[in-house]
Structure 1
Amino acid sequence: MAADRPRTSVSAWKPPVPGITEVFHAHFTEHAYPAHTHDTWDLMILDDGSVDFALDRRRHGASSAASVLLLPPGVPHDGRTVTAAGFRKRVLYLDDSVLPQRLSGRAVDTPVFRDELLRRRIGQLHTALGQAGDGFEAESRLSFVRERLHLHLAATRPRRPGREANRLAAELRDLLDARIHLGVTLHEAAALLHARPTHLIRCFKQTYGLPPHAYLTGKRIDRARRLLLAGHRPAEVATTVGFHDQAHLNRHFTRHVGTTPGRYGRPRASSACASTTS
């Protein structure tokens, strides 16, 4: 009987989110990376298993429990499985618009963070990146990941909303209302309103009780409901209100309304019967 082959599963893609050059998901049972370097930052979380790696000739270990690995650009590193079960990992390759290379020194000294909040935010970002058309949400989540990484590497504290919170929130809401169909990137909004992206999100959530990407999605769903009831087809409605495609509309519409756009627009059977007997 032939020996079982080592199990390997790999997926990779380039998301349309500034600052992320590649998303890489993998399951390895037997694998050893040779020493190599990247031009980008390597931000990794483990969903299962453990890894052993060397960074700048110093060995480190990490397991799936709340660990975040950050490997800086240009620094040699390797990696290998530790147990027969291998490991599952999710990796983001980030360019220096997210983290400048001047912060590399701290990452070389401490490449493994025990930070449950950061790990949760990275997981949420991966989820957003896996959903086509949710660029605004992914941008928002990347901003909070970036802020947390800067906290580790440069000891900078996030700015909390102050007196200007309501004003900034109202200005962002007006911008989102004006761009329901076309949309707006988080960095474009931050530049227009002269605010840091994470500060802008905090102000909005403090004022309105939900993050701006959720507000924009809700506005699009409201507009979609009106168009569906007026007899428009779901595929047409999706692009009209600013969703990437019909599948993107279906996912959010079902979560918000509890049924699909196709079912929502259908006349009730009782209404149909009443109209034929009157």
Structure 2
Amino acid sequence: MGAGAIRDVEAWRPRVPGITEVLHAHFTEHAYPVHTHTTWDLMLLDDGAVDFALDRRRHDATDASRVVLLPPGVPHDGRTVHPRGFRKRVLYLSTDVLPDRLAGKAVAGPILGDVALRRRVHRLHAALRDEDDAFEAQSRLAFVRERLLVHLDAHRVRPPGREGDRLAARLRELLDARVSDGLTLDEATALLHAHPTHLIRSFSRTYGLPPHTYLTGLRIDRARRLLLAGRRPVDVATAVGFYDQAHLNRHFKRHLGVTPLTFTRHART
């Protein structure tokens, strides 16, 4: 690997069960030696091209609309193809997300031409940028997992039936009761005895928005009332369930176009 081969690398461990690491990287000259992982590697190629071997069979990833899935325990390498290198975003998924018994299907076809899957993975990466929105990231991971299991012939998607409205109403009651404390997707599915994606689909179909968006809206409404009552933004943030004032500011401005402080300054008393 030559000087300046690594242009940019960012890696972190999110607070989302099942994702052991997130890696964003730009390589201009690089060749990975043959190696294995204990995780599944789910890669988006954002620019450039990569040549890699998986279980001694070579593949070319040159299309940014595709997704690469490398299974655990299977030897693979990777290298740049042309001078501009490549940009990639990778999620390392534990075998709690995808069991290693499905590795054979991934070895047979590691490059997935699935626009919907790519969109889901992209949105998951965006959610992982904000460590304070774990409920959204958990929800998006559930849909990525579902799509991958379909590709690995291990799952069939079942659209919500009549029971979906009742399930959605029960989840709404939970969210209404836990605005400040919040709710993880695992807690919701355990309490309601429902499959994660089925639960989210049922709620979205019934109420027109996903549960994490509904919860954020409840928190913004409660924050507005407290701000108008004279509470300071820094106190309001934690009172309504946001991680801190910066977390409140981001969502408040996205909803209302102004920060909480500007909102209170222009409020009528």
| 1:109 corresponds to | 108
| 1:31 corresponds to | 30
3-state SS of 2:265 partner: coil
TM-score, L = length of structure 2: 0.97
Q: Letter of the 1:47 partner, please give it.
A: D
Deviations, residues 224-277 of structure 1 (Å, cap 9, x unaligned): 000111111111111111011111111110010110011111145xx68xxxxx
Q: Tell me how far 1:4 sits from its aligned partner.
A: 7.8
> Contact 2:51–2:60 (CA<8 Å) still a contact in 1?
yes
Deviations, residues 34-87 of structure 1 (Å, cap 9, x unaligned): 011101000000111110000011000112431100000011100001111110
Q: Letter of the 1:52 partner, please give it.
A: D
| 1:170 corresponds to | 169
Q: Letter of the 1:95 partner, please give it.
A: S
> Contact 1:50–1:83 (CA<8 Å) still a contact in 2?
yes
Q: Tell me how far 1:131 sits from its aligned partner.
A: 1.1
Distance in 2 separating the partners of 1:56 and 1:82: 20
Distance in 1 separating the partners of 2:266 and 2:208: 34
Larger radius of gyration: 1
3-state SS of 1:23 partner: strand
| 2:56 corresponds to | 57
| 1:197 corresponds to | 196
| 2:253 corresponds to | 254
> Contact 1:132–1:244 (CA<8 Å) still a contact in 2?
no
> Contact 2:15–2:131 (CA<8 Å) still a contact in 1?
no
Distance in 2 separating the partners of 1:223 and 1:190: 25
Q: Letter of the 2:225 partner, please give it.
A: R
Alignment of 1:11-90 (within 5 A): 11-90=10-89
Deviates more, 1:147-156 or 1:117-126: 147-156
* Number of aligned residues: 268
> Contact 1:45–1:64 (CA<8 Å) still a contact in 2?
no
| 2:122 corresponds to | 123
Structure 2 gap segments, 5+ residues each = none
Q: Letter of the 2:255 partner, please give it.
A: H
Q: Letter of the 2:44 partner, please give it.
A: I
Deviations, residues 117-166 of structure 1 (Å, cap 9, x unaligned): 00000000000000120100000000000000000002521111001011
3-state SS of 2:49 partner: strand
> Contact 1:49–1:85 (CA<8 Å) still a contact in 2?
yes
TM-score, L = length of structure 1: 0.94
Q: Letter of the 1:94 partner, please give it.
A: L
Identity of aligned residues (%): 68
Structure 1 gap segments, 5+ residues each = 273-278
Distance in 2 separating the partners of 1:248 and 1:82: 41
Distance in 2 separating the partners of 1:54 and 1:227: 57
Distance in 2 separating the partners of 1:51 and 1:175: 46
Deviates more, 1:157-166 or 1:142-151: 157-166
